[in-house]
Amino acid sequence: MTMLNEGRPVFVTGDDDRIGRGAWARWLATSVVRDEGSPRAERGRILARTGHVHGVSVETGEITALVIGSGGAEYRAQLRAEPVPPRVWAAVIGSARGRALFEAAAAGREQSLQLEHVMTVDWEEPLIPPGKALRRSCTCPDADRNDACKHVIALGYVVADAIDHDPSLLLEWRGCVSREPAAAAPLRVPAERDGDPWAAGELPELGAPRPLPVGSVLKRLGESGLVIDGVDLRDALEPAYTAFAGPAG
């Protein structure tokens, strides 16, 4: 678990009305706050900028803070989301391609737009949870009638700003931590069969392969630059991929 500013009040600085500069920070802000132009969002920004948010703790699946409202009362706000499955994170960053492209992002040193794209398109497990997968809660009376009260919004902006300074906070919340590979099991030599040293045991059963979403490779490659009748080749091929993936006629 990580405590922001050792539990003391956190101040979001900067003159820009939009909080969150990097890709991960900006996505998180828009995920928490559905309408950033609303009066409620503006009140949340004011609370975030004036140090009304403190005791911010980040741990796997859960971000919690104490927020002092405009009337002086203190409320407990929380953001929760299911962590990224460990198998998905290990597969994304463990591949040869992942090691080369996502090393800095996996270490929490930068906010990688490409990593978010691959996890969303190829694995259907976005690094930044969409608004519908994000659970917001607050102990204030207003939280019973609204999806995100100003205290939850303030917490979202504080965390987005913190991610700009330390992207590893998002990885900690999403459970995307580096794990040392398990020690290899000792090699088992099969017993000889009828004196034949080359006789092997039965092959293990393999699990079903996990198919990628239709067209994911095309989307990851991006536009080709080849235009056919005003349409990029990538977009022109996508209907064909969808047809090939459908049930046989």
Q: Could you report the per-residue pLDDT of 53-72, keeping only the tens digit for each? A: 999 999 999 999 999 998 89
pTM of the model: 0.71
Q: Residue 201, Cβ neighbours under 10 Å: how many?
A: 9
Contact 75, 139 (CB under 8 A): yes
- Gap between the Cα atoms of 42 and 180, Å rounded: 43
191 within a domain of the structure (yes/no): no
Considering its fold, how many domains does the chain have in total? 2
Evaluate whether residue 113 is within a structural domain.
no
Q: In what order do the strands lie in the sheet with 2-3?
A: 2-3, 53-59, 62-68, 74-80, 135-138
* In a domain? residue 214: no
> Quick one: average pLDDT of 68-83?
94
pLDDT tens for each residue of 85-111: 999 999 888 875 677 778 899 999 999
E strand residue ranges, the chain: 2-3, 53-59, 62-68, 74-80, 135-138, 227-228, 231-232
Verify that 224 and 161 share a domain, yes or no: no
Query: Using CA atoms, how far apart are residues 81 and 84, in angstroms rounded to an integer?
Result: 9
If asked whether residues 150 and 228 sit together in one domain, one would say no
Contact criterion met (CB below 8 Å) for 55 and 155: no
Residue 194 has pLDDT above 60, yes or no: no
Domain boundary among 174, 208, 232: 174
pLDDT above 70 coverage of the chain, percent: 75
Expressed as residue numbers, the domain containing 238 is 219-245
pLDDT above 50 for 221: yes
The three-class DSSP label of residue 193 is strand
Q: Is the pLDDT of residue 193 over 60?
A: no
Q: Are residues 26 and 79 in the same domain?
A: yes
Convert the pLDDT of each residue in 127-184 to its tens digit. Answer: 999 999 999 999 998 865 656 899 999 999 999 999 999 999 999 999 998 654 434 3
Element (H, E) at 162: helix 150-165
- Strand-pairing partners, residue 138, are 77
